[in-house]
A and B are shown apart, each in its own frame.
Chain A
Amino acid sequence: MSNSTAIAHDAHGAPENPHGAGHEEHPPYLRHHFENTEQQADAAGFAMWLFLLTEVMFFGGLFTAYLIYRNWYYPAFVAASHQLDIRWGTLNTGVLITSSFTMAMGVWCAEMRKKSGLVLYLVLTFILGLAFLGIKTVEYKEKIEKHHVPGFHYSLNSFLNPDSDAEAKAAGDKPLALDMARHTEVYFSLYFAMTGMHALHMIIGIALLGYMIVRARAGAYTSGHVTFVENFGLYWHFVDIIWIFLFPLLYLISRHANT
């Protein structure tokens, strides 16, 4: 029995060619079910896009809910969105767009096989991602302090007595009727659901960035196999696009005075 396997192994091919006879040289990262590295990269990119489309549908449900409720309870949405600080929102948009730029440069460095450049841009993207979450934390903290988190402790004070509230007074808000004021809770439910899911995606992305920085320092992505960095780039840019839509929808509802 052991003899026959030994013979079969002998017939399989010479020891210096462990893949088998008639096998051409190929990069070590090429999986055997692909014809060549180009096909492998295309398949990985295609699969990444399919995943991102499921993400589009996931966030799409939240965006649809937002649009329906905004149409129904428009005055409540205007008053509630005036509670957000447009300066923090604009700054965070800038931070995230810059992080997308540094990520794109990281992918470029990986393709050009520049190891130190790749590590630098990954670290910058990592830091900008953390900065985004830090600013988000400041904003969440303010909502918690003013009891604008939906739930048992939700406070209608900013919307029933806008003159008692700095943000509402600055925006020139008029008092809302009680039934409309209660619908501000719908806005904040959507605000926390949408920015919270976005922040979760950021946290996952930052964790992956940490992993990639360690691997990139070991030279993993600068020897021709850039698929992981490239597909992570797609994910990071996708998260950026979600924020590009969240920012005008949540922060920029009727900012002009006297409406």
Chain B
Amino acid sequence: MTDQKEMEESQHHIVSPVIYIIIGGSLLVLTGVTVGASYLELGIFNPIVAIAIACIKAVLVVLFFMHVKYSSKLTKLTVFCGLFTFMALIGMTLSDYFSRAWGRW
């Protein structure tokens, strides 16, 4: 019985509730930080700070709530490949739109 239980635990990492409480609390704090930062005059850095905080929050959710930190290499690779493809698509689209001489031809 104990052998079976040990085997199950080695197969599947169970994340402790303490981690969930820490991550959930951090996400709420970061929400407050991003609202506060939006009221500061940071010029060009306003949207950059907002997106950076959103990315940190998303990474926390993916790694801990979605267990990717404790998942197989296949899952990690799948998530990374998907996000890389997404960044390539959005990055190349935006670089085209933002660098064209609109209305000059």
Tell whether A and B belong to one assembly. yes
> How many residues in A have their beta carbons less than 8 Å from beta carbons of B?
51
Known A-B contacts A237-B61, A241-B62; A252 and B24 likewise in contact (beta carbons under 8 Å): no
Known A-B contacts A46-B75, A240-B61, A248-B38; A97 and B53 likewise in contact (beta carbons under 8 Å): no
B54 touches A245 (CB 8 A): yes
Across the interface, which residues of A come within 8 angstroms of B79, CB to CB?
49, 53
**Residue A14 lies at the interface, judged by CB distance under 8 Å to chain B:** no
The residues in A between 204 and 256 inclusive whose CB is less than 8 angstroms from any CB of B are 224, 233-234, 237-238, 240-241, 244-245, 247-249, 252-256
Across the interface, which residues of A come within 8 angstroms of B94, CB to CB?
64, 67-68
A101 touches B61 (CB 8 A): no
The residues in A between 56 and 108 inclusive whose CB is less than 8 angstroms from any CB of B are 56-57, 60, 63-64, 67-68, 71, 86, 90, 93-94, 97-98, 100-101, 103-105, 108
Across the interface, which residues of B come within 8 angstroms of A56, CB to CB?
82-83, 86
Q: How far is the CA of A41 from the CA of B17 in the complex (A)?
A: 22
Can you list 6 A-B contacts (CB < 8 A)?
Answer: A60-B89, A64-B90, A64-B93, A68-B93, A111-B12, A247-B54
Across the interface, which residues of B come within 8 angstroms of A237, CB to CB?
61-62, 65-66
Q: How far is the CA of A249 from the CA of B55 in the complex (A)?
A: 12
B46-71 CB mask vs A (1 if < 8 Å, else 0) is 11001101100110011011100001
Q: How far is the CA of A245 from the CA of B53 in the complex (A)?
A: 9
A248 touches B53 (CB 8 A): yes
Q: How far is the CA of A218 from the CA of B36 in the complex (A)?
A: 45
Known: A60-B90, A247-B34. 12 other contacts (CB 8 A): A41-B11, A42-B74, A45-B75, A46-B75, A49-B78, A71-B98, A97-B31, A103-B65, A112-B14, A237-B62, A248-B34, A255-B39
Instruction: Tell me the A residues contacting B by CB distance below 8 Å.
Output: 37-38, 41-42, 45-46, 49-50, 52-53, 56-57, 60, 63-64, 67-68, 71, 86, 90, 93-94, 97-98, 100-101, 103-105, 108, 111-112, 224, 233-234, 237-238, 240-241, 244-245, 247-249, 252-256, 258-259
Across the interface, which residues of B come within 8 angstroms of A68, CB to CB?
93-94, 97
Identify whether the interface residues of B are mostly helix, strand, loop, or mixed. Answer: helix
Contact check: which of B46, B53, B57, B75 meets A256 at CB < 8 Å?
B46
B19-39 CB mask vs A (1 if < 8 Å, else 0) is 011011001100110110011
Across the interface, which residues of B come within 8 angstroms of A247, CB to CB?
31, 34, 54
Across the interface, which residues of B come within 8 angstroms of A42, CB to CB?
72, 74-75
Q: How far is the CA of A42 from the CA of B67 in the complex (A)?
A: 13
A101 touches B20 (CB 8 A): yes
Known A-B contacts A68-B97, A97-B28, A101-B24; A46 and B78 likewise in contact (beta carbons under 8 Å): yes
Chain A: minimal CB distance from B68 (Å): 9
A45 touches B71 (CB 8 A): yes
Contact check: which of A93, A100, A234, A252 meets B50 at CB < 8 Å?
A252
Chain B: minimal CB distance from A13 (Å): 26
